[in-house]
Chains A and B, each alone.
Chain A
Amino acid sequence: MKTFLILGAGTGGTMVANKMSKRLDRREWRIVIVDKDETHYYQPGFLFIPFGIYSPSDVVKPKRKFLPDGVEVFFSDIEFIEPERNRVRLGGGKEINYDYLVVATGSHTHPEQTPGLTDAWQQKVFDFYTLEGATNLGKYLETWNGGRMVLSITEMPIKCPVAPLEFLFLADWYFHKRGMRDRVELVLATPLPGAFTKPQASAMLGGMLERKGISLEPEFTIMEVDNGKQVIRSYDEREVPYDLLVSIPLNMGADVIQNSGMGDELGFIPTQKNTLQTIKWPNVFIIGDAGNVPSSKAGSVAHFMLDILVENLSDAMQGREMKASFDGHANCFIETGFNKGLLIDFNFDVEPLPGQFPFPVIGPFSLLKESTLDHIGKMGFRWIYWNILLKGLPIPFVESHMSMNGKKSLSKAPVQA
């Protein structure tokens, strides 16, 4: 019996388990999946918890519910991965030898990596990338009387790169609804040169932050949090004062990746971006956030990686040349508040473009343009996640590769100095 091992049973790992359990000959292959946590979190839902739109119970379900029969499930820490010897050691010492491995261990926040960030952690300084953080922030906001709320992005890449904007758009709406928007200042401190860095998105959404009264501190590379003075300080000594700090901490790959010497400087595994095979180990692949693929780190990306990964795994297992190629496709709904949202659809080579998705003219979802339907799409996605996506089923009319169908280009002529 050969062993197909999946590390991590989040979005990516669960989808791979479901697809491969139908694909592999079960007389030849044993499928094993390991995760340290029995709870499956719908991470896109965390954003809504601080504002009372979702409660914690709306975003959790047991992981087992989504894993197929016939797959061996271990809920355990993963202590060490030895790709040179095709084996993995779990916490408690159990060893699993594998023939093929998919690493789906995700991306995790590390507030302790920024000096001062954890001093007033969950008291004056919060995150919303964990269920605990989002819930604590929600409680704090219930009785907050207003002041200066700063959202600080520590460093790129982060998973869900649009979440900081969504958070501020929702905050703007939330405080309006509570009749206290005039008592709140909203600030985005980002290492990026702007809220939107790509030309089309910038052109179409440029005025959005200003319209919503959100100010920007661009190119802010946070060095430390000064809890005494209540400022965040950058390496070039700029200070941004806050009354309430919401942080998106440094994102790194799972600890075991670093401990096993497999990751880059942020603990993400060097991966061939099209085949999803790791650079160093031909029988080790990744799905989702765990690799250093230059796509966004997002659930939709893992979904689009899935079919390509499964094809390539099958070919590799049979000694055939891998032909499927991932194009970096990402498709993300962005909440903009006031029951509106917008949709972006892009890949490695094509930035988010305006137009309609998935069909030209009839859409129904508008790209790079706010609409109520896009908001409904965002909220409706939770059902699709639990009932379709996790099972490895396709989403109707949405292909793995990005399509130019319905997209318009506002192209500019190249500039010569």
Chain B
Amino acid sequence: MVDATLASISFDAEGYMTNPSQWSKEIAESLASQEGLATLTAEHWKIIDFCRQTGLASGKAPTLRQITIGTGISTKDLFALFPKGPAKKVAKIAGLGKPEGCV
């Protein structure tokens, strides 16, 4: 059940995980479901895995541009897979912090 899976996870005020090590594939599926994505296809996972890898290595969730270049998937397709703000959505699902501005 979605609620039970996420019960022990720490989130910030906007629903981004604050402790990346708590992440698992089941968590990702629950988070995705909350974001309106009932099923995650192989294409979705390719993007989630890429984001998690780069995010953990660099300390920041990757930008849209970095995701398209790194996965070879076009921006249009990214928006189709993760409607409305894919960079933010994937960051959330991949257990990374929010991509941010300065002010």
Interface, chain A (partner B; CB < 8 A): 155-156, 161-162, 165, 192-193, 196-199, 201, 219, 221, 223, 235-236, 265-266, 294, 296, 330, 344, 346, 352, 412, 414-417
Picked from B12, B83, B84, B103, the residue with its CB within 8 Å of the CB of A415 is B12
Return B85 CB to nearest CB of chain A, in Å: 5
Note all chain B residues with C-beta closer than 8 A to A296: 102
Contacts of B6 in A (CB 8 A): 417
- The 4 nearest A-B residue pairs measured at CB: A197-B101, A417-B11, A235-B79, A415-B13
Q: Which of B53-95 contact A (CB under 8 A)?
A: 60, 63-66, 69, 75-76, 78-79, 83-85, 88
- Across the interface, do A198 and B65 meet the contact criterion of CB distance under 8 Å? no
Whether A198 contacts B102 by the Cβ 8 Å rule is yes
Assess A412 versus B88: contact at CB under 8 Å? Given A235-B75, A236-B79, A346-B102: no
Known: A235-B75, A235-B76, A417-B6. A412 touches B85 (CB 8 A): no
**A223 in contact with B75 (CB, 8 Å):** yes
Chain A residues with CB under 8 Å of B69's CB are 265
**Residues in chain A near residue B83, CB distance under 8 A:** 236
Chain B neighbourhood of A412, CB < 8 A: 13
Q: How far is the CB of B7 from chain A (nearest CB, A)?
A: 8
Complex Cα gap A414–B63 (Å): 26
CB-based nearest B residue for A201: B103
Whether the pair B13, A156 counts as a contact (CB closer than 8 A) is no
Q: Are A344 and B103 in contact (CB under 8 A)?
A: yes
| Separation of A344 and B78 alpha carbons in the complex (Å) | 35
Interface pair A236/B103, CB less than 8 Å apart: no
Q: Are A156 and B101 neighbours in the complex by a CB distance under 8 Å?
A: yes
Query: Which residues of B approach A to under 8 Å, CB–CB?
Result: 6, 9-13, 15, 18, 60, 63-66, 69, 75-76, 78-79, 83-85, 88, 100-103
A196–B79 CB distance below 8 A: no
**What is the distance, in angstroms, from B14's C-beta to the closest C-beta of chain A?**
9
Is the pair A155, B101 in contact by a Cβ cutoff of 8 Å? no
Contact A266 B13, beta carbon cutoff 8 Å: no
Contacting residues, chain B, for A219 (C-beta < 8 A) = 84-85, 88
A161 touches B102 (CB 8 A): yes
Q: Is the CB of B66 within 8 A of A198?
A: no
- Of all chain B residues, the one with the shortest Cβ separation from A234 is B79
B9: chain A residues within 8 A (beta carbon): 417
A417 contact set on B, CB distance < 8 A: 6, 9-11, 15
How far is the CB of B84 from the nearest CB of chain A, in Å?
6
Partner of A266, one of B65, B75, B100: B65
CA distance A346 to B75 in the complex (A): 32
Q: How far is the CB of B15 from chain A (nearest CB, A)?
A: 7
CB distance from A78 to the nearest CB of B (A): 25
- Whether B102 pairs with A330 at a CB distance below 8 angstroms is yes
User: Are A352 and B103 in touch, CB under 8 angstroms?
Assistant: yes
Look across to chain B and name the residue whose beta carbon is closest to the beta carbon of A352.
Answer: B103
A69 to B46, CA, bound (A): 56
CA distance A155 to B13 in the complex (A): 25
Q: How far is the CA of A196 from the CA of B101 in the complex (A)?
A: 8
Closest Cβ of chain A to B1, distance in Å, is 15
Q: List 8 A-B contacts (CB under 8 A).
A: A161-B101, A197-B103, A199-B13, A221-B64, A223-B75, A235-B75, A236-B79, A415-B13
Rounded to whole angstroms, the CA-CA distance of A156 and B64 in the bound complex is 10
**In the assembled complex, which residues on chain B have CB atoms less than 8 Å from the CB atom of A346?**
102
Known contacts A219-B85, A266-B65, A417-B9, A197 near B15 by CB under 8 Å: no
Please give, as numbers and ranges, the residues of chain B lying within 8 Å of A162 by CB-CB distance: 103
Q: Which residues of chain B are near A192, meaning CB under 8 Å?
A: 101
CB-defined contacts of B88 to chain A, threshold 8 Å: 193, 219
Q: How far is the CA of A293 from the CA of B15 in the complex (A)?
A: 27
* Chain B residues with CB under 8 A of A221: 64, 75, 79, 85
Cα A161 to Cα B103 with chains together (Å): 8
Of all chain A residues, the one with the shortest Cβ separation from B85 is: A219
With both chains docked as a complex, state the minimum distance between the C-beta of B88 and any C-beta of chain A, in angstroms: 7
**Given A265-B65, A294-B60, A417-B6, A198–B11 Cβ distance below 8 Å?**
no
Beyond the given pairs A193-B85, A197-B101, 7 more chain A to chain B contacts, judged by CB atoms under 8 angstroms and listed by A's residue number, are: A155-B65, A197-B102, A236-B79, A265-B65, A294-B60, A414-B13, A417-B15
Is there contact, CB below 8 Å, between A197 and B10? no
Least CB distance from B39 to A in Å reads 20
Query: Is the beta-carbon distance between A236 and B101 smaller than 8 angstroms?
Result: no
Q: Chain B nearest CB: distance from A92 CB in Å? A: 33
**Complex CA distance for A196 and B100, rounded to whole angstroms:** 10
CB contacts (< 8 Å) of B12 on chain A: these are 414-415
Q: Least Cβ distance of B22 to chain A in Å?
A: 11
Cβ of B76 and Cβ of A197 under 8 Å apart? no
A266 partner residues in chain B, CB cutoff 8 A:
65
Could you say which of A346, A415, A417 has the most chain B C-beta atoms within 10 Å of its C-beta? A417
Contact between A416 and B10, CB atoms less than 8 A apart: yes
